[in-house]
Structure 1
């Protein structure tokens, strides 16, 4: 099979979908690996390393024209014209991106999304490594924007001898939230985590002891904790769906002057009412007297680390798809759940539910109607 790796074009996206090591594994299996010129440069993976691994360095159109196209981030508007009736494997977050969903349907693309590949226990093996990184970065970026030089409250997350650390409130105790929390605790913050799942809160309490305060999520509890926070990290995820809005604009307007909010869920539409996507070049905007950070590709800030983590997780699934996607989904239910569009129809139930005017495969429609 011809496998193409285009260069990422999203703002400051430094990741690449395949490492030279992965290219070697695929080439050894008899596949033709086509890497767009410079695709790995931002992750310090030069073209000559791919060539040494058996890949060919090609143009943009050649990479996109392969049988199986591997990316990191969803195609941006300027790439819609490159979509084909081939197989695409990348992060899509389609429930929050109607234009892309429509473009994939129109192109007839068989599109699998990393973020909806889900095993029976509910875990997300391809989203998890990026959630870990995004969670850790959320605390670091939040602490940076709390600096007076950045327009923040001038509060150091770790505090100082005799001075308390910053009040950091993490909403959502899943993978991203738990790693944001661990980073905050490790830095000496006055840390709070809010979640609906009391068992998850109990597990976090066992991990961190009296260094963290756990709160069961209710609208009143969220409002109370957010108003007392220096840094709020939103890490609410409903796999495959748009993120619920858990912090209202009114609450944001009443937060402490100079406070910072970081929305890890922005790829899924964001979990703050005020959220809108930002970029690494222009990461924050101001609402009232609060800075809001909503960079939609946070792990792109650490491209070398994030590429290695993502490529390690995706390679077994890539290998399966390279043997034929129909056979791959028949053999692996987790990969089957990753299928979002095929043959001009929406195949993922939550996307069909979000955009009912798009043509949907009957099984997806029935799944939506049964919810």
Structure 2
């Protein structure tokens, strides 16, 4: 199979779909890899490194899209990239379709086979291709919050860990999953006062075993969310429903009543965000203020630490890239129900039920496309 790796063009996105090491593995499996010139520059992997791994270097994205049987990316294809997709071409990347009807319509029109990293599952129900970036984003969310708390950034001017004689900042983390756990670890490390809101009792017990009394866990209800958000200096939103739009847990009224200079870091912004006041931002202009509350809603947070993020992501995606290339997408998905969960769009049909439900569009059972 000819695998194409274009350069990411989303604002301040420096990650790349395949590292030279991943390319070498694909070539060893008998596949060809076409990498757009400069695609790996953001992680310090230049064209010569890809050539040494066995890749061919394309002069531009058009050459990659025109020739590749499978496109491997990091972020969702932008409008001009979607215009280059063709029927039957495999697209393997993060998609986050639920809050993005324009992208969904373009993928349906193109007739591509779009497999989304964020909905591929593991036997235990986890999301193994999303987890590495959730780990990065969870840790970065605390760094971002600490910066946003500074007075110059519009924050209330407090240090997360305080100093002797001065209270630390209060962090409210909504969602105790991968994002929440990693955010809590970082916030505790800074000396902050940390509360995690979670609806799974077994998960709260697990978090208690991990962090002990360094974290307070609170069962999620509308009342507890409101109480903790209004008491917080920082709110980190890390709630995820696989494939679906993020639930709006923080209302505009709650934002109006939050402390002036407090901060919302909405890690769920890829799926639409957890606050009614959240809207996607970029690393170029990461924040905005609503009712004296600083909002940090960068939709590709891990792109700022591109080298760490790319290698972590490739560790998770490479086995699936090889499975699809070695067997063809139909056989690979037929043999792996968890990879089949990643199929979001195929030949003009939405094949992930949560995506279809979020967009109020028809759903087609993905098994339709992999049955003999």
Q: If the length of structure 1 is used for normalisation, what is the TM-score?
A: 0.96
Aligned residues of 1:349 and 1:364 also touching (Cα < 8 A): no
d(CA) in 1 for partners of 2:98, 2:131: 19
For structure 2, list consecutive stretches of 5 or more residues without a partner in the other structure. Answer: none
Q: What aligned pairs does 1:265-276 form with structure 2 within 5 A after superposition? A: 265-276=268-279
Aligned to 1:35: 35
d(CA) in 2 for partners of 1:168, 1:357: 38
Aligned residues of 2:248 and 2:273 also touching (Cα < 8 A): yes
Aligned to 2:331: 327
Aligned-pair distance for 1:120?
A: 2.8
After superposing the two structures, state which structure 1 stretch, 158-167 or 14-23, moved more. 158-167
Work out whether 1:250 is the aligned partner of 2:253: yes
Aligned-pair distance for 1:103?
A: 0.6
Aligned to 1:46: 46
Aligned to 2:56: 56
1:72 to 50, 71, 74: 74
Aligned-pair distance for 1:209?
A: 1.8
Aligned to 2:86: 84
- Aligned to 2:126, what secondary structure does the other structure show? coil
Q: What aligned pairs does 1:206-355 form with structure 2 within 5 A after superposition? A: 206-323=209-326, 324-355=328-359
String of CA shifts for 1:114-162, please: whole Å, max 9, x gaps.
Answer: 0000123211110000000000000110011101121211111111122
What is the aligned-residue RMSD (CA, Å)? 1.3
String of CA shifts for 1:147-203, please: whole Å, max 9, x gaps.
Answer: 112121111111112222110110000011111011111110011110111221122
String of CA shifts for 1:245-290, please: whole Å, max 9, x gaps.
Answer: 1111101111111101000000001011111000000011111010
Work out whether 1:98 is the aligned partner of 2:101: yes
Aligned residues of 1:243 and 1:270 also touching (Cα < 8 A): yes
Aligned residues of 2:343 and 2:366 also touching (Cα < 8 A): no
Aligned to 1:126: 129
Aligned residues of 1:167 and 1:230 also touching (Cα < 8 A): yes
Q: 1:356 to 1:227 in 2, by over 3 A?
A: closer
Aligned-pair distance for 1:364?
A: 8.2
Aligned residues of 1:119 and 1:333 also touching (Cα < 8 A): no
Aligned-pair distance for 1:357?
A: 4.1
d(CA) in 2 for partners of 1:200, 1:89: 31
- Aligned to 2:33, what secondary structure does the other structure show? strand
Work out whether 1:8 is the aligned partner of 2:11: no
Aligned residues of 1:50 and 1:56 also touching (Cα < 8 A): yes
d(CA) in 1 for partners of 2:184, 2:233: 14
d(CA) in 1 for partners of 2:229, 2:193: 13
d(CA) in 1 for partners of 2:61, 2:361: 32
Aligned residues of 1:168 and 1:190 also touching (Cα < 8 A): yes
Aligned residues of 2:99 and 2:359 also touching (Cα < 8 A): no
- Aligned residue pairs, count: 364
- Aligned to 1:214, what secondary structure does the other structure show? strand
Q: 1:220 to 1:352 in 2, by over 3 A?
A: same
Work out whether 1:163 is the aligned partner of 2:197: no
String of CA shifts for 1:292-334, please: whole Å, max 9, x gaps.
Answer: 0100000001000000000111000000010210110111111
